[in-house]
Amino acid sequence: MKFCWNCGIKMGGDANFCPECGAQQESNQYPSSSQMQYEYQSVHQMEEQYQPANQRGHLDDYKEYKDSKRKKSKKPIFIFLVGLLLIAISINNLALNVIGRETTARVESAVRDTRTYGSNLPEPNRYQIIYSFYVNGEKYTGSGTGDFIYGIRSDQTVRIRYLPMYPRINGTVQETNIIGNIILFFLGWILMVGSIKKRIPIGRKHEIVFK
């Protein structure tokens, strides 16, 4: 089945002249309807076979890119918060060391610290303690971690420091070591600065290219 190129009427496959308008039909000028349908089905099948696969590949690449970017964006925030925490702890302990007052506290609870702190085995002489002390007749409590060579138990005493204007801020003498807290402060500062540089890259562009 074919169509007249002049008026568009259907004609027999062997007709050389249009029965409607009389126009002469050139051979192979227009493809037959069966040929057109075959070509359409072939193209359609190729689109279904290849285009979705390409689209899925692009979407998978883009999703992977977004996931990696999201993970990278969370990591600097975590590092920043860790650095901020270290700075806060160091400032607290430095304040206790510089303007804090030293006194004797009574140990109310002592438990061996089983954390390894990066080593394979825990320190045998490290304890977590809870203590209490009095300032102007008022009782205050605190907690801390320290190394006690001969061990420690309840009802023993330890030396602590507290802020005169706010005794609730206190710590053991071991924890308020000035050199260790200065190192802790600069470590927190380095983590914070490093995380900010990773969070806001200057002069860099991230893009994904689909080929």
For the chain, the domain total comes to 2
What's the pLDDT at 129? 92
What's the pLDDT at 138? 94
Structural domain contains residue 56: no
Structural domain contains residue 206: no
Per the CB < 8 A criterion, the answer to whether 34 and 51 are in contact is no
Bridge-partner residues for 127, per DSSP? 112, 146
Give the pLDDT band (50/70/90) at residue 4. Answer: confident
Residue carrying structure tokens 């303007």: 99
Pair (90, 144) in one structural domain: yes
Q: What is the mean pLDDT of residues 26-52?
A: 55
What's the pLDDT at 75? 78
Pair (195, 91) in one structural domain: yes
Pair (99, 190) in one structural domain: yes
Range of the domain at 26: 1-40
Structural domain contains residue 63: no
Among 155-159, 170-174, 207-211, the range scoring the smallest mean pLDDT is: 207-211
Provide the strand spans (E) within 34-152.
Answer: 101-112, 126-135, 138-147
Structural domain contains residue 27: yes
Pair (192, 92) in one structural domain: yes
Q: Is the pLDDT of residue 207 over 50?
A: no
What's the pLDDT at 118? 63
Structural domain contains residue 62: no
Structural domain contains residue 154: yes
pLDDT digits (tens, 9 = 90+) for 72-115: 667 788 888 999 999 998 898 888 888 899 999 999 999 988 87
Structural domain contains residue 115: yes
What strands lie across the sheet with 101-112, from one edge to the other?
138-147, 126-135, 101-112, 157-163, 166-172
Give the pLDDT band (50/70/90) at residue 126. Answer: confident
Structural domain contains residue 143: yes
